[in-house]
Amino acid sequence: MTGTSLDGVDLALCEFGENSFKIIQFDCLNFPPEMQKSIREIHLKSASEYLRLENAYSRFLSKGIRQFNESTGRKSQFSGIHGQTVFHEPSAGLTTQMLNGGLIAALTGIPTVCDFRRADVALGGQGAPLVPIGDRDLFSDYSACLNLGGFANVSLEENGKRVAFDICPVNFVLNQLAEKEGLEYDDKGKMAASGELDKPLLQELNDLEYYHRKSNKSLGREWVEQEVIPLLRGKNNRTALRTFTAHAAHQIAESLANKDSVLVTGGGAYNEFLLKQLSLQLPDTALIIPEKKLLEGKEALIFAYLAKLRLERKINVLASATGALRDSSSGAIYFPS
């Protein structure tokens, strides 16, 4: 799994039982700086440049998968790979996760399942979020599952159905602001904590139209660049960090009202200042931070689970979460020749 924050590729070797799982080994593969920069800018380049980067990225992943398998002493039965989201405009019927699944299957010798989103978008869905079926099947002990990555997304039961949606940007914006200070990210939210709260800016952020929509909604880079970045432009950087963190905490708290226990995973779970702001707004909610393998590897685990279900020809995408016409068994399968 790799998300919009581009903070690395998560690899998890998993075993599944009947509605149970075990993460045997977890690792994070760091992007070479030049590749990371190219991925950030690829949406501005030509189709030819996109394809060349897709192949380079897929070769990079293939090498990482082979080395990861060697380190575990085991060969995976299959790989489930999200790919790198470059374009995501489901309202226009468009979503692209950069990945050459056929190349990866050929280079690793392992059946590869990828491109999980497009079938759902074809059925009128958002193509996101995809993790709710894993949350429902593997983490039913919690009132909700919250992931704090490039975007915050939540999954929970509502009227007997699993619903899920993207709440707001988190690391996708906070990391960009941290880079202005010469850092990859705001360690534990310390820079945000040192900033001033800009109340008019906070109100502008909270008034964005997206937050007034109901569930079955998802966010992408395009929305952030059009709606959020212009509001932050020209602001003192630490003020922007402080205010955007307050904004994220507010939106997340709104989505988790009246929940008893929430499993919190993703890189944003290390942002102590964000979690403190969130706890203040949810005094009666237990925010559960799991051990590191699950905290960092939950999404990789669930993409392995989605691949397992796809290979078994079972439903792996829930229309109740994406807004599609129906549930689907989604993903392209590539077998090594």
For each of the domains in the chain, give its residue range(s) and CATH number, in order of start: 9-127+306-334 (3.30.420.40), 132-293 (3.30.420.40)
Residue 17: predicted pLDDT: 86
Q: Quote the pLDDT of residue 3.
A: 81
User: What was the pLDDT predicted at 102?
Assistant: 97
CA distance 6 to 176: 11
pLDDT tens figures, 244-290: 999 999 999 999 999 999 999 999 999 999 999 999 999 999 999 99
Give the pLDDT score at 230. 97
Task: Read off the tokens for 77.
Answer: 């039965």
Length of the chain (residues): 337
Q: What pLDDT is attached to residue 7?
A: 80
**Residue 58 structure tokens:** 């897929």
Two structure tokens written together for 334: 């590539």
* Entry pTM: 0.86
Residue 121: its pLDDT value, please? 95
**Ranges in the chain, pLDDT < 50:** none
User: What confidence score (pLDDT) does residue 331 get?
Assistant: 97
Asked if residues 120 and 102 have their Cβ atoms less than 8 Å apart, the reply is no
Dist CA 145 CA 245 (whole Å): 20
